[in-house]
């Protein structure tokens, strides 16, 4: 039966069989130190020439970086390091000899590594990022189910826009004209809440934004959540609860990965306390005090987000933005109809926006008026308007970008490392 390296601590003194890949090898005369990986973890295997047959030793010497192997041996404690284990090799089989593996253990440029992304994923750093990504997904699912959400999901092909028509990817759709790759599943899960009360989707979304920043992808994963009978303030509490749950889950379950990534976890630990809240108007005043030249009515840029969180230990909510720079579906603030009941959540350490959310407009006539004011085709949104005709209720929702969360938790510089195969305006392969 296959033994996984992650479980090796429970098998000290036993003979096991590891199936995996040779990550690295170094030799010291008649002793070879083999760094093995199997997807679940890493272990050093020690091969001693005098304890092996000539045939097995020849295979050990022949094996090269990234060759697939089966290694049999006894599990022992490392002679000097606490809680580290080794494998004393007794048998060694090469399944496939990898010759001239292109990514040697040295520095490579980002373009070379992206061209070889299908192989670069095997590196320790990329392995760690993928596992943190998985942990964030798991934590999101756990938290939402604890808060009585269920996963319903939304279509990728859509007939209309959710976040503005200028960033749509059009796709010919048989005899029905043009479809678009989804920008967000929000409109669809608004329909589903009338069935299940609270729900979310989790999948790829697409934005045709010609952005070349370290925080933008054209294809990324988004979790959109929606809840019936939840209004603005409660929506903020759910969002904060989610982000703090992600932090705690990753600090608890990704210790090894964060060490590999050399992530200073102190800022994450500090971030798990009540978040700071600004209104948009307060944020603009604060930014002017900090030297920004942003004008009232403008969206915040990357530099502005950085300024607001520069000296903050916790993420910052910015709520109640001008209606003129926000989508048609957001509910107006009853205290000031020029504003909407929305929020952006800005992470610490320059990570930027993590979440965007709002209370939704639940009045049929007001929503119809805004669809027309945006110049949108009413017929395309009639199904969405129907939701306000048949049992409309106050409701709110939000979306969190998975790769943005991965970038923040891991501390990696560029978002292209936060998804297995990144799609940017300059990259479509591999």
For the segment 36-54, what is each residue's pLDDT rounded down to a tens digit? Answer: 999 999 999 999 999 999 9
Do 146 and 23 belong together in one domain? Answer: no
Do 79 and 144 belong together in one domain? Answer: no
Q: In terms of Cα–Cα distance, which of 84, 43, 144, 158 is closest to 399?
A: 144
**Based on the number of CB atoms within 10 Å of its own CB, is 264 exposed (0-12), middle (13-18) or buried (19 or more)?**
exposed
For residue 430, is it within any domain? Answer: no
Do 88 and 121 belong together in one domain? Answer: no
CA distance linking residue 121 with residue 117, whole number of Å: 6
For residue 173, is it within any domain? Answer: yes
Which residues, in sequence order, are bridge partners of residue 316?
Answer: 276, 346
Q: Which residues in 253-308 belong to E strands, given as ranges? A: 276-279
Q: Which of 64, 96, 128 is the last residue of a domain?
A: 96
Do 85 and 145 belong together in one domain? Answer: no
So what's the pLDDT on residue 163? 64
Task: Report helix, strand or coil for 31.
Answer: strand
So what's the pLDDT on residue 162? 65
Residues whose CB falls within 8 Å of the CB of residue 266, separated by 6 or more in sequence, listed in order:
none
* Domain CATH for 199: 3.30.930.10
Do 338 and 370 belong together in one domain? Answer: yes
Does the pLDDT of residue 28 top 90, yes or no?
A: no
So what's the pLDDT on residue 82? 86
So what's the pLDDT on residue 9? 93
So what's the pLDDT on residue 88? 97
Percent of all residues in the chain with a pLDDT value above 90, rounded to a whole number: 91
For residue 188, is it within any domain? Answer: yes
Mean per-residue pLDDT of the chain: 95
Do 391 and 326 belong together in one domain? Answer: yes
Do 67 and 140 belong together in one domain? Answer: no
Do 60 and 203 belong together in one domain? Answer: no
For residue 51, is it within any domain? Answer: yes
For residue 313, is it within any domain? Answer: yes
Q: Which residues in 211-260 belong to E strands, given as ranges? A: 219-228
Percent of all residues in the chain with a pLDDT value above 70, rounded to a whole number: 99
Task: Tell me the C-alpha to C-alpha distance, in Å, between residue 12 and each of 19, 81, 82, 83, 89.
Answer: 18, 15, 13, 11, 14
For the segment 196-212, what is each residue's pLDDT rounded down to a tens digit? Answer: 999 999 999 999 988 88
Q: State the pTM of this model.
A: 0.95
CA distance linking residue 414 with residue 409, whole number of Å: 13
For the segment 120-149, what is each residue's pLDDT rounded down to a tens digit? Answer: 999 999 999 999 999 999 999 999 999 999
Angle value at C-alpha 208, between 205 and 214, nearest 5 degrees: 85
Sheet strand arrangement including 395-401? 150-151, 198-206, 219-228, 395-401, 352-359, 342-347, 316-319, 276-279
Do 91 and 121 belong together in one domain? Answer: no
For residue 108, is it within any domain? Answer: no
Mean pLDDT of 267-274: 98
The token duo for 54 is: 């000539």
Do 334 and 402 belong together in one domain? Answer: yes
So what's the pLDDT on residue 136? 98
Do 306 and 337 belong together in one domain? Answer: yes
Do 181 and 322 belong together in one domain? Answer: yes
For the segment 350-389, what is each residue's pLDDT rounded down to a tens digit? Answer: 999 999 999 999 999 999 999 999 998 999 899 999 999 9
* Domain CATH for 46: 2.40.50.140
Mean pLDDT of 235-262: 98
Does the pLDDT of residue 164 top 70, yes or no?
A: no
Structural domain of 371? 117-417
Long-range pairs, 190-195, Cβ under 8 A, ≥24: 190/226, 190/360, 190/384, 190/387, 190/395, 190/397, 191/383, 191/384, 191/387, 192/152, 192/226, 193/226, 193/227, 193/228, 193/395, 194/228, 194/387, 194/390, 194/391, 194/393
CA distance linking residue 265 with residue 148, whole number of Å: 30
Tell me how many domains the chain contains.
2
Chain-centroid distance of CA 59 in Å reads 40
The token duo for 201 is: 């989707």
Q: Which of 96, 125, 145 is the last residue of a domain?
A: 96
Does the pLDDT of residue 410 top 80, yes or no?
A: yes
């Amino acid at each position: 039966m296959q033994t996984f390296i992650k479980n090796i601590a429970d098998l000290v003194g036993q003979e096991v069989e590891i199936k995996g890949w040779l990550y690295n090898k170094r030799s010291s005369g008649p002793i070879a130190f083999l760094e093995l990986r199997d997807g679940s973890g890493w272990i050093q295997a020690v091969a001693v020439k005098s304890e092996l047959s000539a045939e097995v030793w020849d295979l050990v010497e022949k094996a090269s970086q990234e060759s697939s192997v089966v290694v049999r041996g006894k599990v022992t404690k490392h002679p000097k390091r606490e809680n580290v284990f080794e494998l004393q090799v007794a048998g060694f089989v090469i399944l496939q000899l990898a010759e001239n593996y292109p990514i040697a253990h040295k520095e490579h440029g980002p373009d070379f590594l992206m061209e070889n992304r299908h192989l670069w994923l095997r590196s320790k750093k990329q392995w760690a990022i993928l596992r943190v990504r998985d942990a964030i997904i798991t934590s999101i699912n756990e938290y939402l189910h604890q808060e009585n959400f269920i996963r319903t999901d939304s279509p990728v092909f859509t007939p209309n826009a959710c976040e503005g028509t200028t960033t749509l990817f059009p796709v010919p759709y048989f005899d029905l004209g043009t479809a678009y790759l989804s920008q967000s599943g929000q409109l669809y899960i608004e329909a589903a809440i009338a069935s299940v009360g609270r729900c979310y989707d989790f999948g790829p979304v697409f934005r045709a934004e010609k952005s070349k920043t370290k925080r933008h992808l054209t294809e990324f994963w988004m979790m959109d959540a929606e809840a019936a009978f939840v209004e603005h303030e409660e929506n903020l509490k759910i969002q904060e609860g989610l982000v703090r749950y992600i932090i705690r889950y990753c600090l608890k379950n990704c210790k090894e990965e964060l060490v590999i990534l050399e992530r200073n976890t102190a800022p994450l630990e500090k971030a798990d306390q009540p978040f700071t809240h600004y209104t948009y108007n307060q944020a603009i005043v604060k930014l002017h005090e900090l030297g920004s030249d942003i004008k009232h009515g403008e969206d915040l840029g990357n530099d502005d987000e950085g300024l607001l969180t520069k000296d903050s230990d916790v993420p910052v909510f910015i709520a109640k933005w001008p209606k003129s720079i926000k989508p048609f579906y957001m509910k107006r603030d009853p205290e000031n109809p020029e504003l909407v009941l929305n929020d952006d959540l800005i992470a610490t350490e320059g990570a930027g926006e993590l979440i965007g959310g709002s209370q939704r407009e639940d009045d049929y006539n007001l929503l119809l008026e805004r669809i027309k004011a945006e110049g949108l085709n009413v017929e395309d949104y009639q199904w969405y308007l129907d939701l306000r005709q048949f049992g409309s209720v106050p409701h709110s929702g939000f979306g969190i970008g998975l790769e943005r969360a991965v970038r923040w938790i891991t501390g990696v510089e560029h978002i292209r490392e936060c998804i297995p195969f990144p799609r940017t305006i300059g990259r479509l392969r591999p």
